Structure 1
Amino acid sequence: MAAVKPSSNRSSLVMMRIVFWSTALLALAVLAGVVYEQVGRYRAQRDFPAPGKMVDVGGGRRIQLDCRGSGSPTVVFEAGLSVDGSLSWSAVQPAIAARTRACAYSRAGLMWSDPSGAPISAKQVASDLHEALARAGERGPFVLVGQSLGGLFATTFTRYFGDEVAGLVLVDPSHPDQVARVAAYMTETRSLRSRIAVSLAWTGLLRAAAPRLLPRAPNQSERDARAVRAYASKSMVTQMAESDATDAMLAEAGAFRDLGKRALVVLTAMAPYTEAELRGMKITPAQGREVLAIWQQLHMEEAEWSSRGRHLSLPNSSHDIQFDDPEAVIEAVLSVVEMVRADDGGRR
Structure 2
Amino acid sequence: MFRKVLYGLKILLILGVALFGWGQYQRVTLVNSTPPPGQMVDMIDYQLHLDCKGEGPVTVLLEAGSNEFSLTWDKVFLELSKQTQVCRYDRAGLGWSKASPIPRMASSMADEFQDLLKQAKILPPYIFVGHSYGGYIGQWFAYRYPESLAALLLIDSAHVDQFIRIPSAQAELDGLVDQFTTLQRVSRMGLMAMRPATIPERGFSGETLRQYRGVLASRNHFLAAMEENKLVRESLEEGVQVLNHIDVPVVVITRGRADGLDDEEFASWQLMQRNLLTVSVRSKQVIARQSGHYIQMDQPELVIQEIKLLLQQ
TM-score for both structures, normalised by structure 2: 0.90
1:28 and 2:14 aligned = yes
Cα deviation for residue 82 of structure 1 reads 2.7
1:239 and 2:225 aligned = yes
| Secondary structure, counterpart of 1:41 in structure 2 | helix
One-letter code aligned to 2:140 = T
Long gaps (5+) in structure 1: 1-10, 279-287, 340-348
Q: Which sits farther off after the overlay, 101-110 or 311-320?
A: 311-320
Please, which of 296, 306, 310 is the counterpart of residue 332 of structure 1?
Answer: 306
Contact 2:136 2:157 in 1 (8 A): yes
Please, which of 37, 43, 61 is the counterpart of residue 76 of structure 1?
Answer: 61
Per the alignment, do residues 211 and 164 of structure 1 end up closer, same or farther by CA in structure 2, a change over 3 Å counting? same
Per the alignment, do residues 32 and 71 of structure 1 end up closer, same or farther by CA in structure 2, a change over 3 Å counting? same
Please, which of 166, 174, 177 is the counterpart of residue 161 of structure 2?
Answer: 177
Tell me the equivalent position of 1:343.
none
Tell me the equivalent position of 2:120.
136
Cα deviation for residue 24 of structure 1 reads 3.2
| Secondary structure, counterpart of 1:17 in structure 2 | helix
In structure 2, what is the Cα distance between the partners aligned to 1:268 and 1:236?
27
In structure 1, what is the Cα distance between the partners aligned to 2:179 and 2:76?
34
Per-residue displacement from partner, 1:289-347 (whole Å, max 9, x unpaired)? 221111111011102211111111122201111111101111111122222xxxxxxxx
One-letter code aligned to 2:121 = G
| Secondary structure, counterpart of 1:190 in structure 2 | helix
1:322 and 2:296 aligned = yes
TM-score for both structures, normalised by structure 1: 0.82
Per the alignment, do residues 166 and 44 of structure 1 end up closer, same or farther by CA in structure 2, a change over 3 Å counting? same
Contact 2:143 2:246 in 1 (8 A): no
In structure 1, what is the Cα distance between the partners aligned to 2:170 and 2:105?
24
Long gaps (5+) in structure 2: none
Contact 2:155 2:253 in 1 (8 A): yes
1:64 and 2:64 aligned = no
One-letter code aligned to 1:67 = C
In structure 1, what is the Cα distance between the partners aligned to 2:233 and 2:11?
42
One-letter code aligned to 2:206 = E
Per-residue displacement from partner, 1:44-90 (whole Å, max 9, x unpaired)? 3322211121111122x11111111111211000001134x111111
Q: Runs of 4 or more off by more than 6 Å in structure 1? A: none
Contact 1:259 1:305 in 2 (8 A): yes
Please, which of 4, 17, 20 is the counterpart of residue 4 of structure 2?
Answer: 17
Aligned residues: 309
Tell me the equivalent position of 1:289.
263
Tell me the equivalent position of 2:132.
148
Q: Which sits farther off after the overlay, 253-262 or 158-167?
A: 253-262
Per-residue displacement from partner, 1:18-64 (whole Å, max 9, x unpaired)? 2x3454344334433433343233223322211121111122x1111
What aligned pairs does 1:1-348 form with structure 2 within 5 A after superposition? 11=1, 13=2, 17-18=4-5, 20-59=6-45, 61-83=46-68, 85-183=69-167, 187-188=171-172, 190=175, 192=178, 194-208=180-194, 210-217=196-203, 220-233=204-217, 234-273=220-259, 277=260, 288-339=262-313
One-letter code aligned to 1:47 = S
In structure 2, what is the Cα distance between the partners aligned to 1:330 and 1:36?
43
In structure 2, what is the Cα distance between the partners aligned to 1:124 and 1:17?
58
Cα deviation for residue 272 of structure 1 reads 3.4
Contact 1:185 1:291 in 2 (8 A): no
| Secondary structure, counterpart of 2:43 in structure 1 | strand
Per the alignment, do residues 104 and 193 of structure 1 end up closer, same or farther by CA in structure 2, a change over 3 Å counting? closer
Per-residue displacement from partner, 1:214-239 (whole Å, max 9, x unpaired)? 3241xx33211111111114212211
| Secondary structure, counterpart of 1:226 in structure 2 | helix
Per-residue displacement from partner, 1:187-246 (whole Å, max 9, x unpaired)? 4451645533323432123435653343241xx332111111111142122112212221
Contact 2:160 2:239 in 1 (8 A): yes
Contact 1:146 1:154 in 2 (8 A): yes
Per the alignment, do residues 335 and 29 of structure 1 end up closer, same or farther by CA in structure 2, a change over 3 Å counting? farther
One-letter code aligned to 2:257 = A
| Secondary structure, counterpart of 2:121 in structure 1 | coil
One-letter code aligned to 1:138 = I
Q: Which sits farther off after the overlay, 50-59 or 99-108?
A: 50-59
Contact 1:133 1:139 in 2 (8 A): yes
In structure 2, what is the Cα distance between the partners aligned to 1:292 and 1:176?
16
